[in-house]
Amino acid sequence: MHADTPTLVGNLARNDVAAQTAIYSRLTNRFASAGAECVCVTSIAGHFCIDAFKEVSLLPVVDMIAEVSRTIEARRLKRIGILGTRTVMETRFYGRISSAEILPPSDPDLDDVHQAYVAMATAGFVTEDQRAVFDAAIQRLLDQCAEAIMLGGTDLALAYNEHTAPFPLVDCAGIHADAIARLAIG
């Protein structure tokens, strides 16, 4: 499902669950009338209201956070660093991962990562300066004994992937895409 990014970011910043849920519901109603059998919120930031949305959705929702939680449990990870928007990092992926400790970057890394992430997501590409901010925060998280780094922002795939990263990743968008593909295949 796609929603207007500036509106989503504003609703996230204000924690306006009702407004974003209403947007998702309107879109889902259109999908349902077109014959869709499920709905997916592909934005990690967009999951800030996923529980409220699941309660009112006409269609089953493929919940990224639940899928990531299952993957973390299966991998037996216990301490994971996280990058993403300020809200995603501060809430430790919306507080829904119970099998592992989620470590956000410390100040000032938290603000630097948030700003670099938003700029990267807006531009659609990662600069060397943004990558340097992410790399420095990741190193500090790894120094705190993080076993893996969670890509808690959909657009972080512009900077890192599981095949080339020099550290273990929890790629939330990739995990979600795999779950959607499994559902589509049946």
Per the listing, tokens 């999951």 go with 47
Q: Are residues 69 and 50 in the same domain?
A: no
Q: Are residues 146 and 92 in the same domain?
A: yes
Question: Would residue 128 count as lying in a domain?
Answer: yes
**How confident is the model at residue 1, as a pLDDT?**
56
Choose the final residue of a domain: 39, 62, 85. Answer: 62
* pLDDT greater than 80 at residue 177: yes
- Nearest CA to 85 out of 153, 155, 35 is that of 153
Please count the other Cβ atoms lying within 10 Å of the Cβ belonging to residue 96: 17
Question: Would residue 182 count as lying in a domain?
Answer: no
Averaged pLDDT score across all residues of the chain: 93
Q: Is 35 exposed, middle or buried (0-12, 13-18, 19+ CB in 10 A)?
A: exposed
Q: Are residues 69 and 157 in the same domain?
A: yes
Choose the final residue of a domain: 38, 62, 86. Answer: 62
* pLDDT greater than 60 at residue 110: yes
Q: Are residues 28 and 118 in the same domain?
A: no
Q: Are residues 33 and 75 in the same domain?
A: no
Q: Are residues 14 and 99 in the same domain?
A: no
Q: Which range, of 9-13, 54-58, 63-67, 98-102, averages the lowest pLDDT? A: 9-13
**Opening angle at CA 177, ends 131 and 114, nearest 5:** 30
Domain that holds residue 149: 65-171
Q: Are residues 25 and 115 in the same domain?
A: no
Question: Would residue 177 count as lying in a domain?
Answer: no
CA 156 to CA 161: how far, in whole Å? 9
**How confident is the model at residue 2, as a pLDDT?**
54
Number of domains in the chain: 2
Q: Are residues 56 and 69 in the same domain?
A: no
Question: Would residue 185 count as lying in a domain?
Answer: no
Q: Are residues 104 and 159 in the same domain?
A: yes
Q: Are residues 164 and 103 in the same domain?
A: yes
Q: Are residues 164 and 98 in the same domain?
A: yes
Question: Would residue 186 count as lying in a domain?
Answer: no
CATH code at 129? 3.40.50.1860
